[in-house]
Structure 1
Amino acid sequence: MDRVKVLFVDDETMVLNSIKRSVLDEDYSALFAVSGEKALEIMESEEISVLVTDMKMPNMNGLELLKKVKEISPDTIRIVLSGYTQLPQVLATVNSAGIFKFITKPWNDDEEFLPAIREALEYYNLKKESDQLKEKIEKKNIMYQNMLNYSNDILKNIKVDVNNIKTINRLIFNLQKNLLNKIKNNQIDINLVDYYVDLINSIYFDFLDTIPSKNEKFNLEQLAKSLKIDIISDSQVKFDKSDFEYEGNYSLIITITKTLLKELLNHCNENDFEIIIDKFDPLNISINFDKENFHEVLAKSLELKLIIMILNELSNTFGAKFSINIKDKLICLNTNLRSETNKN
């Protein structure tokens, strides 16, 4: 561990030599300067714990030096060693420069001079330890506050997830109840019941896989790449401005869109539609059909209607919804996500 440093300043060489002899056996490193300017040069490269300076010096006097040291190194303990004995002068110096001790010349080494420096060093060390402890406490307080905020965010998110699961559970229950009623009334082919139940459960469990929900940052290129994996070809996805960045429930957006695409491929060829990801705010994912019988595809497919209804409910959990435009042959997932670029 480096020894603490005490800087002595006096324009009289004889005084400095006397101090050197006095502090020879002390447990600190003693540095010496013959002027205020030299003292400031030393302080640029050294951490000075205690400064002991004469008051009456040419060019820069002791008071000027003390004021500068208070400004550039406020933790340095300042002691005056001077022949000034008039009370007004002493008080002026103490008040303007924050003096720890005022020692008059001539002094007694063992009774006054050395004890004063030791006391100053002890005060410096105590203050430094206090500041370090305070800094540690402040850092811990920040850490604990961050942990508390994080825990509160988790609890808030869990509450939202629980409410969303309850909402989706009600939907699934009602769908299954409706299927049961249709079976009782012979309104549905019983051979298709297992298929519909499996379809509903598959979507439901895919939704549960996105729990716990979390917001993620993503750009359009990342979104397009995720949609292309194992489902559609590169040519089917169109997007612009890949540097546009959004933040939202990315995993659920992907789950919802992929589920819809997989079902569409059961009723259409791959080349019958394309995905258009709009960079406009809010973010929209549109499925644009080339098929002339787009209306018939939607009207005849009970599975597709069922899936869109369930997905629309899932989308509502993060403020999105599906819209179907028969005239323009579009199925569109309208999100409420605005780009980070426009937010800034």
Structure 2
Amino acid sequence: MLVKGTPIDKERVKNILIIQLGDIGDVVWATPTFRAVKEFYDGARVSVLVRGGTERLLAGDPSLHRIFEVKGGKGVSFHRIKKDVGLIRELRRERFDLVFDLRLDDRGAYMALLTGAPARVAQPNKNLSWRNRFFTHLVEPSVSEEPVRGAAEQSLRTVREVGVESKDSKPRIWVPAESMKRVRKLVKDEDMDETDGWITLNPFSRWRYKEWKYEKWVEIIDWLWNQHNISTVIVGAPDERKRGDYIAGRCAGRVFNLSGKTQLDELAGILSLSKLHIGVDSAAPHIAAATGTPTVIIYGPSSWRDWAPLGEEHIVIAPDCDCAPCHKKGCEGKGWSRCLEELAVDTVKQALEDRINRFVVGGRI
């Protein structure tokens, strides 16, 4: 429902900016919104503004005209705005007709205002009432009788309220040909066998209380090799490489550690070639699912209902205990989670066995 502003004349909209200044997963889940806006405003140019570091994931998206990036972390300050002066000038030169801000924070609101676009749309933030004045249009998503599942729907609800129709809420990432060329060179250099394939594994999270014991991952990797003759490829960020070495060094099975060896677009390429992805609650499963790879995701204290990929090719392993999800940073705030500590290796093996039989041996969807 439109609670501020008048209906937007669709025919006059020729140049659009969508702002999504969230983390990697937020950007992945916003891709259905990018497509929906492009399809609805047929013939209009659609550009996006994202946080620096996430732009590589969108480089191959055919619905996007340009990708702009802001530097630095979250939040806003005079110093940060001063650093963004060049970007703001570039955005103003685009003369956007319409801007959507998909988040509720202050930085996106400032950037939306400073574009000078005559129509600026967002959901209201009741805790930042001053922020709401930066937008010409405010929308309150319609209340659904059924719980809204999937983070993609959260973004789509913003644009739907101004008439945008969406046919597909499934996130998608296109890996550019140049990126795939670098990926295949890396695969060759690492002596990985693309013909036989592999399962990718991301055991790491920014928050340790979301991680499973590394020794249990060693058991899984060895089981995949001994039982199924499947190699494992560990993926992660540069600061996770030593932890990847720790896991790989304790494995008897065939394993490769690519942590820190890929940019985001190349990581997407590796994941797209994977037979299956398994990991904890982090960015990698979202990317894998968006490239079409089946996933097995382990959740602990955080809720999977809003974030887990939808579809029969994806499965969630959630703790069987009354206290989960608790949404806390570990038990008693100590940075570790009992629900994950007690998760049995056999439980994970059972989920993997099912996925392997359906999507690896039987072929990918």
Normalising by the residue count of structure 2, what TM-score does the alignment of the two structures yield?
A: 0.24
Larger radius of gyration: 1
Q: Taking CA–CA contacts closer than 8 Å with sequence separation of 6 or more, which of the two structures ends up with the larger relative contact order?
A: 2
TM-score by length of 1: 0.26
